[in-house]
Chain A
Amino acid sequence: MTSSEVLLQVRDLVKYFPIMRGTLIQRQVGAVKAVDGISFDIFRGETLGLVGESGCGKSTAGRSILQLYRPTSGSVLFEGVDLVKLKGEDLRKMRRRMQMIFQDPYASLNPRMTVGQIISEPLIIHGVANGKEAQERAEELLRLVGLNPAYTNRYPHEFSGGQRQRVGVARALALEPAFIVCDEPISALDVSVQAQVVNLLEDLQSQMGLTYLFIAHDLSMVRHISNRIAVMYLGVIVELADRHELYNHPLHPYTQALLSAVPIPDPVIEARRQRIILKGDVPSPINPPSGCRFRTRCPLADTICAEQRPEFREVQSGHWVACHMV
């Protein structure tokens, strides 16, 4: 399923959002350090899961990779081309190869366009198809995602959440991209409908050889769908490994706590489980802790953790971790 060919190479990616003060003369007084130096590879045909709690920067990371936010620094090599350096027409051409599926199927579809228009818009913009041809392609895409092709003239409000998310998937597939960022594609859906959408994403991946970056906060779902998983905390990746390796041998204390906090739908197992309960809340990304970002809540924290930022290093083949104590 996974070849070792690298599709996407992210190196030291940084995205800061400036905080401005003043009404007439604006000056920058600080920055939200949403993503603060992350590096990883995504292989062709695989699903890389990116997990973390709200505000850890996982969505910003996804958007910075696609250049929906222009990164503050760092590089994103897509099939060897650095997207960060591209501009204008060159970047627009690359956008055909990478798409996004958004979290909220209610907010990400234009309510005044029919589903057919929504799905064929990327085809028209990129000059791939027009008129009747685009219409036919939209019908074909609707069929592909399990919707009735006769629905092209309906508006988004006529669909349920799960069906809208299928429309979002069809739109993302219109230009036959190689890479799709799925930003929490199922968290707005009901449990029984989530499985429908996940199965669809898996089927499409095996049919079309797609590569996914699957962003989510639900660790059980990420384990189900991903080949490898990266864990983010406060703007940095703290651990990255094969999904079974990460679950069976988590090395970073944050990963360990996160895994132990996830409830398992089985009362017999739940009764026996020992939880690592983290103290306190996630600090602000405006003024993150010095050294290791996690040290303020870490049960293992020592003096070195406050002084030095831990290096993100490969401790075993394919298992990366950023911790002084490992």
Chain B
Amino acid sequence: MPEILQVQGLETQFRTREGTIHAVNGVSFSLKEGETLGIVGESGCGKSVTVMSMLRLIPSPPGKVVAGKALFQGRDLLTMSDEEIRHIRGAQISMVFQDPMTSFNPVLTIGRQVSEPLEVHMGMNHKEAEDRVAEMLAKVGIPNPKDRLNNYPHQFSGGMRQRVMIAMALVCNPQILIADEPTTALDVTIQAQIVELVKRLRDELGMAIIWITHDLGVIAGLADRMAVMYGGFIIETAPVRDLYAHPTHPYTIGLLGSLPRMDEAGSRRLVSIDGLPPVLLEKPNYCPFAPRCKFAVERCWHENPPLMQVSPDHYTACWVDTETGRERL
């Protein structure tokens, strides 16, 4: 499959009163057509800032993308004109946010909001757009879609609002859907409904997905490939099965070990990662995980490891081979 998105060396900083926050420190990844990439990490690791930077949605000031490229179909999203990126955002690359309550305009009807991208990007008139919206709402499982066009966001439940948000994101048939923690605010049974819906729509419409989450459970059943972020870096990336079966970075190992599993009968003690996530007031010239790492060696404190290949499609940013405990050469 050809690649439709290549992000190279992306760096984003925020100026605050305390100093410059180095939120993203040189992130590179690519996305193939129709592929689902999961980006996982804890709060503040830079996963949302990465995709927001890519789409030029970072408020500036205080934020600034200071380096990198984001090539979509060969064209750099970061250097194109505002006019050009507006044609891509919402039409070819669209986004679903975490909180469906705050990302809708409360004083406009659902019909008006969901049809807006069609009128803006596809030049449809109001009537055509409404028909298409009703069709799309039916597709995401909203009962009586024609009647609900005139409803306001508060008249929908959390799960239903997230369905409407997905309909709005997919109404222009985008090639890439970016979902930023779309199920975090929802209950498990509703989360299962939404995940099932996204899987079905992916099979029907064939778009590529970037799914950002902190939940290693949800993404296991959904992604083809995973990227784990820590301290503004991607620290491990691999096909999803490979990553769960053979995690190689100490952080990934710790993260998987710290999760209780519902299918587990014994009561093993949870593996906890000591210490706290880093404060990103400086771009570390050492491994950002070193202060919490059980495997850390001398070199980890002097040199930040780049992503290194460990098996055909599996890359990890660690100086230590965690299987043998020896330093990588």
Contacts and interface: CB of A to CB of B under 8 A. Distances in A.
B188 A53 contact: yes
Given A261-B192, A265-B216, A281-B157, A271 B272 contact: no
A55 to B, nearest CB: 9
A70 interface: no
29 contacts: A54-B187, A191-B216, A193-B273, A195-B259, A195-B271, A195-B272, A198-B270, A202-B269, A219-B262, A220-B217, A220-B262, A221-B260, A224-B260, A224-B267, A225-B260, A247-B262, A258-B189, A261-B189, A263-B215, A265-B217, A268-B245, A269-B263, A270-B220, A270-B221, A273-B221, A275-B192, A275-B196, A278-B189, A281-B157
Contact of B262 (A53, A225, A264, A275): A264
Interface of B: 42-43, 157, 159-160, 187-193, 195-196, 214-218, 220-221, 223, 240-241, 244-245, 254-256, 258-265, 267, 269-274, 276-277
Contacts of A270: 220-221
Contacts of A194: 258
Given A192-B42, A264-B220, A220 B261 contact: yes
Given A53-B189, A162-B276, A277-B196, A191 B258 contact: yes
Interface in A261-289: 261-271, 273, 275, 277-278, 281-282
B190 A271 contact: no
A255 to B, nearest CB: 11
B193 A192 contact: no
A263 B218 contact: yes
A133 B154 CA distance: 54
A261 B215 CA distance: 14
Given A196-B274, A220-B259, A262-B217, 18 more contacts: A162-B276, A190-B42, A191-B258, A192-B258, A195-B259, A196-B272, A199-B270, A217-B187, A224-B264, A244-B265, A247-B263, A261-B189, A261-B191, A264-B220, A265-B261, A266-B261, A275-B196, A281-B159
Nearest to B44: A190
Nearest to A224: B260
Contacts of A263: 191-192, 195, 215, 217-218, 220-221
A268 B272 CA distance: 24
Contact of B240 (A221, A267, A273): A267
Interface of A: 53-54, 160, 162, 190-196, 198-199, 202, 217, 219-221, 223-225, 244, 247, 257-271, 273, 275, 277-278, 281-282
Contact of A267 (B159, B214, B221): B221
Contacts of A191: 42, 214, 216, 255, 258-259
Contacts, number: 128
A191 B245 CA distance: 19
A266 B244 contact: yes
Contact of A195 (B214, B217, B258, B277): B258
Interface centre among A192, A223, A277 (most CB of B within 10 A): A192
Tell me the interface secondary structure of chain A in the complex. Answer: helix
A277 B192 CA distance: 7
B260 A220 contact: yes
Q: Most B CB atoms within 10 A — which of A258, A260, A264, A282?
A: A264
Given A160-B276, A195-B273, A199-B269, A266 B220 contact: yes
A193 B276 CA distance: 8
> Which of B188, B218, B240, B265 has the largest number of chain A CB atoms within 10 A?
B188
A247 B191 CA distance: 20
A191 to B, nearest CB: 6
A262 B264 CA distance: 13
Contacts of B269: 199, 202
Contacts of B187: 53-54, 217, 282
A265 B276 CA distance: 23
A271 B245 CA distance: 14
Contact of B241 (A244, A259, A265, A267): A267
A265 B256 contact: yes
A220 B160 CA distance: 26
Given A192-B273, A273-B221, A267 B188 contact: no
B239 to A, nearest CB: 9
